[in-house]
A and B are shown apart, each in its own frame.
Chain A
């Protein structure tokens, strides 16, 4: 049988967004003596998009998981979207630099206004849209260096600093 596959199949390899996320996740445990770690979990695929959640994890606090951000992309990897919450979005100014996407979402909102009659003002699902590995690393650096991350990690570490015996149930 004739081999129809090209010779250079798979030659062009690069770090996928999820592998970058996992590499960064692995580094957090080293910095906290594994008291606070990070995990990347695959999420529910929506409309064929790949979804990955980045959690901050405290294994000794009931395996506490905090969802820091979510990445969605199609099979082509880029452009991808990084979804963050309002607290982080406010800190990093996620709304202002991405008017194009906002306008796109607004146009959809105007077209498909809810049957309940609610007027959509603006989206609050804050998002960074990046189109390359370099841009992704840049946004990831902003998120991981944020005060929000400091606050969550510090809160978890401080809860581990005392060991309170459970109070008997009354």
Chain B
């Protein structure tokens, strides 16, 4: 089993929480967005009991930081932009490599739904470029998508094309007007609202407008059909506790005064 942690830190110094989550859940790959803490400080925190973790730097991506429990040579970058990093993961214990992608999609604060829809194909092109280079579609994509699973950019065929059903995703692709688009499976649909085993979303926002859904599931993991067998839905979780301290306040919302405004996401792959 390989355990992954994704967390948008909201530029907070949360290395203690990261250490505790990594320790409690035996995380092997830590992916951080909005991380303004020096990687050396995070490594020092993670490696307080020994040299367990490695920093896996990016030449060009400034938005995502990656730490691994195995040497970073086993997870080299293959495709990047400023906001996304696509890496090949192949350790000696794995029979075949997979592509691990992470992104920080532009915020709804700066883009409306239509701009997000327009931007999503460019992010998907990075995935397609990585898959073309690697010669397979065994891809996992995680990150702060700044969209909910039901937003247009997530479900649009030319966007992430991420569906709620394993059965549909297993069809591999759909054809729209003569052109094929590969599916992602989006298990986050199963964690929306009170269906979630933990908090009702990863981000809470309560505007004074007429329209508000309060909880948002911006932090997501998408799985290509080729990896459905190694993904265990029961191990996908939105965390509200780092093993020692709560990440939410008394009302159950992310405790922005102490921690990030996003809650971390944890999942496992049987690689």
Chain A residues packing against B (C-beta within 8 Å): 41, 43-46, 51, 53, 55-56, 58, 61-67, 70, 83, 85-88, 105, 108-109, 112-125, 152, 155-156, 159, 164, 166-167, 169-170
CB pair A65–B79 under 8 Å, yes or no, is yes
Output the residue of B62, B77, B92 with the most chain A CB within 10 A: B77
Residues on A with C-beta less than 8 A from B171 are none
Contact across chains for B212 and A117 when beta carbons are under 8 A apart: yes
Indicate which residue in B109, B124, B205 contacts A120 across the interface (CB closer than 8 Å): B109
A125, B80: Cβ atoms closer than 8 Å: no
Q: How many residues of B contact A (CB 8 A)?
A: 50
Find out whether the CB atom of B115 lies under 8 angstroms from the CB atom of A109: yes
Q: How far is the CA of A7 from the CA of B130 in the complex (A)?
A: 45
Tell me if B59 and A156 are in contact (CB < 8 A): yes
A61-B76, A109-B112, A118-B108 known; 19 new pairs, CB 8 Å cut-off, are A43-B125, A46-B121, A53-B125, A65-B80, A66-B81, A112-B114, A115-B113, A117-B212, A119-B109, A120-B108, A120-B112, A123-B110, A125-B110, A125-B115, A155-B59, A156-B59, A164-B73, A166-B71, A166-B74
- Flag if B82 contacts A43 (CB, 8 Å): no
| B 110-127 to A, binary, CB cutoff 8 A, 1 in contact else 0 | 111111001101101110
A105/B115 in contact, CB under 8 A: yes
Instruction: Decide if B93 is an interface residue (CB 8 Å cutoff).
Output: yes
**How far is A43 from B122 in the complex, measured between Cα atoms in Å?**
7
CB closest residue in chain A, given B113:
A114
Establish whether residues A87 and B82, one from each chain, have CB atoms under 8 Å apart when the complex forms: yes
Contact in complex: A108, B112 (CB < 8 Å): yes
A44–B158 CB distance below 8 A: yes
B-chain residues with CB within 8 Å of residue A113 when the two chains form the complex: 112, 209
Contacts of A86 in B (CB 8 A): 82
Q: Are A43 and B121 in contact (CB under 8 A)?
A: yes
Are A62 and B76 closer than 8 Å at their CB atoms? yes
Q: Is the CB of A62 within 8 A of B77?
A: yes
What separation, in Å, do the CA atoms of A61 and B118 have in the docked complex?
A: 31
Given contacts A43-B122, A65-B79, A86-B82, contact A159 B112 (CB under 8 A): no
When C-beta atoms are compared, the residue in chain B nearest to A120 turns out to be B112
Contact A114 B108, CB 8 Å, known A159-B59, A169-B92: yes
Interface-central residue, B60, B70, B125, by most chain A CB under 10 Å: B60
Pairs A–B under 8 Å by Cβ, sample size 27: A44-B122, A46-B121, A51-B121, A53-B125, A55-B79, A62-B76, A63-B78, A64-B59, A64-B80, A65-B133, A67-B126, A86-B82, A88-B82, A105-B115, A112-B112, A116-B108, A116-B205, A116-B212, A116-B216, A117-B205, A119-B109, A120-B110, A125-B110, A125-B111, A167-B71, A169-B70, A170-B70
How far is A119 from B212 in the complex, measured between Cα atoms in Å?
12
Is there contact, CB below 8 Å, between B81 and A125?
no
Contact partners of B112 in chain A: CB under 8 A: 108-109, 112-114, 118, 120
Any chain A CB within 8 A of the CB of B91?
yes
When distances are taken between beta carbons in the complex, the residues of chain B under 8 Å from A53 are 122, 125, 129
Closest to B148 in A: A116
